[in-house]
Structure 1
Amino acid sequence: MKVLVIGAAGMIGRKLLDQVAKTPEILGAPVQALTLVDVIEPTAPAALAGIATCQAVDLSTAGAAEALISDRPDLIFNFAAVVSGEAEADFDKGYRVNLDGGRALLEAIRAEGLTAPYRPRLIFASSVAVFGAPFPEKIGDEFFTTPLTSYGTQKAIIELLIADYSRRGILDGLSIRLPTICVRPGKPNAAASGFFSNIIREPLVGLPAVLPVDDSVRHWFASPRAAVGFFTHAATLDLDQVGPRRSLMMPGLSATVAEQIAALEEVAGPEAVALIRREPDPVIQGIVAGWPCDFDPKRAVELGFTAETNFADIIRIHVEDELNGKIGG
């Protein structure tokens, strides 16, 4: 099987590849060739280096998608995106990368299929940002998409295109609507949701963190470990079970910032909580206010997708996976 990972240098892409390196059969068939691309050249895990080709590619540039599809990958993961806060701040860049790049990929697949039969599986990283207020107490699978950000709009458009291209037999696609992934390793990024990770990640290593919203803000979370599980499960799922609605809200847990902080104290003690500094940011508050905060992802659960149910467990996963089990500076 040939596998193409777009956005392979990002957090989920890297962790997915690490899992494939540890458990080669996790994608359902032996991986014979692996193409890894991102705007900066990604690095393959050592165990996969012999079958991997790594390239620096901007999917939205002319001819980039066609070149990637010319090798006819059987399985494609598309993680590439300008994140929420940046997409809101830079309108042109957000639409170029998140919409034009995604559409170029779909069209390259369609063009390749016109030369000879070709129908790859495409797994797309979408987001809860496809939903917009006002919300019911819990958002079910039938709730409509009315995004209130450019990022959410871009994700929703690609979701619709994937469903239509799948309906027409051009590809076999699935859009994975991710919760906010927390705790994200590394440094803060431009995502408006970044503070949800910052207020946990930095205090765990003895560093201060800024909280720009009120403690009562509620959101929908899953760990990076769960996120990798979503994509590996999607790679092997019988998509006939999914039917024509090719977008699935992933399971997760709903928690307030106050509950996050309480879980941090449970895992790391009051000295970690004392490192959180409250600095209200009206821009971030406005963006977050339009996001959904609780779901009933019945379809995904019935299809076998799983995630954490306790925020302290999410923190413990971060400590185990990123800090070698150690807390403190």
Structure 2
Amino acid sequence: MRVTIIGAAGMIGRKLAERIAATGAIGGTPVDAMTLVDVIEPDVAADFKGTREVFAADLTQSGTSERVIANRPDIIVHLAAIVSGEAEADFDKGYRVNLDGTRALLEAIQSIEGYCPRVIYASSLAVFGAPLPDVIPDTHQLTPLTSYGAQKAMGELLLNDYSRRGFLDGVGIRFPTICIRPGKRNKAASSFFSGILREPLNGVEAILPVEDDVRHWFASPRAAVGYIEHAATMDTAQLGAQRCMTMPGVSATVGEQIEALRAVAGDGAVALIRRAPDPAVAQIIAGWPRAFDTARALAAGFVAEKSFQEIIAIYLEDEMGQPALKGA
């Protein structure tokens, strides 16, 4: 099987590539060729035993999509995107990358007669916007309130239609906010959700820009990779015409995150969180959903964590090489 990961220099793409290199497979199916693409050349999975191609490319540039699928990959994982805060700050760039780049890829696939790869599209909870029910089903109308959410919703519609027409076999994954993200914060409005845990666990001050009662939907990086692995080999007949699903996760408030941190790492870690309200971030987050009914994804075989302490324990194990500190 041939796998192409677009956005392979990002956190999820890197972890997915490393997972494939370590196991030689995706979702239990052997992988003999892997292509890794991003706007900067990905530097991952050098130990992959099969054929490995790595290059820098921009899907918005003419000819790039054709190059990306030149070896006719069986599975294409499309993770490349401008994140929420940046897409809101730079309107033109957001649409160019998140919408135009996605359509260019799908058009390149469609142009090859007889070619029908599995395409896994990274979508977002931002496709939903207020007013919202307390618990949101997959059938809820897409009403995004940010440019990023609108771009992802358009991508979902394209994935559905190109799948309906038989040009590709799509699976759309609405990722929860991935937490705890390793490394440094990015330009996503949701970045602080990881920061208020990651920084204290590393003995560094963290900035909290919203109130403790803000509730959101979370999963670990390990779960994110698991979603993609499952999507790569699942039977898509059960999805019908609606190819996009919200993934299972953990609903938690900021206050509950902090208490999970306290249970795992103690009061000293919590004391490193400094509250500094940011109205711009708060306004973006206020329009986001808080909890989901993910019965459809669960029935299709997707899984995630059951508690926030479990999410913290995974960060400690995967990123810091240690077990949870106090009973996660």
Band of TM-score, shorter chain: over 0.9
| Deviations, residues 10-59 of structure 1 (Å, cap 9, x unaligned) | 00011111211222233343212111000110023232165111001111
Is 1:47 matched up with 2:52? no
Residues 51-62 of structure 1: matches in 2 within 5 Å? 51-62=51-62
Q: Give the drift of 1:326.
A: 6.7
Identify the match of residue 169 of structure 1 among 163, 166, 191: 166
Cα distance in structure 1, aligned partners of 2:59 and 2:26: 26
Segments of 5+ residues of structure 1 without an aligned counterpart are none
Structure-1 residue corresponding to 2:136: 139
Identify the match of residue 206 of structure 2 among 209, 213, 218: 209
Structure-1 residue corresponding to 2:242: 245
| Deviations, residues 127-178 of structure 1 (Å, cap 9, x unaligned) | 0000000111100121110000000000000100010000000000011000
Structure-2 residue corresponding to 1:97: 97
* Partner AA of 1:142 in structure 2: T
Structure-2 residue corresponding to 1:305: 302
Is 1:276 matched up with 2:296? no
Structure-1 residue corresponding to 2:65: 65
Cα distance in structure 1, aligned partners of 2:26 and 2:138: 27
Cα distance in structure 1, aligned partners of 2:296 and 2:290: 18
Structure-2 residue corresponding to 1:285: 282
Asked if the contact 1:20/1:27 (under 8 Å) is kept, the reply is no
Deviates more, 1:137-146 or 1:199-208: 137-146
The sequence identity of aligned pairs, in percent, is 62
Structure-1 residue corresponding to 2:185: 188
Asked if the contact 2:317/2:324 (under 8 Å) is kept, the reply is no
Deviates more, 1:287-296 or 1:317-326: 317-326
Identify the match of residue 198 of structure 1 among 191, 195, 198: 195
Structure-2 residue corresponding to 1:324: 321
Structure-2 residue corresponding to 1:226: 223
Structure-2 residue corresponding to 1:18: 18
- Total equivalences in the alignment: 325
Cα distance in structure 2, aligned partners of 1:204 and 1:327: 10
* Partner AA of 1:315 in structure 2: I
Deviates more, 1:37-46 or 1:155-164: 37-46
Asked if the contact 2:73/2:117 (under 8 Å) is kept, the reply is yes
Q: Does the residue aligned with 1:126 lie in a helix, a strand or coil?
A: strand
Asked if the contact 2:127/2:149 (under 8 Å) is kept, the reply is yes
Moved over 6 A (4+): none
Asked if the contact 2:156/2:244 (under 8 Å) is kept, the reply is yes
Q: Give the drift of 1:306.
A: 0.6
| Deviations, residues 170-201 of structure 1 (Å, cap 9, x unaligned) | 00001100000000000000000000000000
Q: Does the residue aligned with 1:112 lie in a helix, a strand or coil?
A: coil
* Partner AA of 2:92 in structure 1: D
Cα distance in structure 2, aligned partners of 1:327 and 1:199: 17
| Deviations, residues 208-267 of structure 1 (Å, cap 9, x unaligned) | 000000000000000000010000000010000111100011000100000000000000
Segments of 5+ residues of structure 2 without an aligned counterpart are none
* Partner AA of 1:93 in structure 2: K
Cα distance in structure 1, aligned partners of 2:71 and 2:19: 24
Residues 261-272 of structure 1: matches in 2 within 5 Å? 261-272=258-269
Cα distance in structure 2, aligned partners of 1:122 and 1:28: 17
Asked if the contact 1:44/1:52 (under 8 Å) is kept, the reply is no
TM-score scaled to structure 1, two decimals?
0.97
Cα distance in structure 2, aligned partners of 1:100 and 1:202: 35
Asked if the contact 1:204/1:327 (under 8 Å) is kept, the reply is no
Q: Output the aligned Cα RMSD.
A: 1.2
Q: Does the residue aligned with 2:277 lie in a helix, a strand or coil?
A: coil
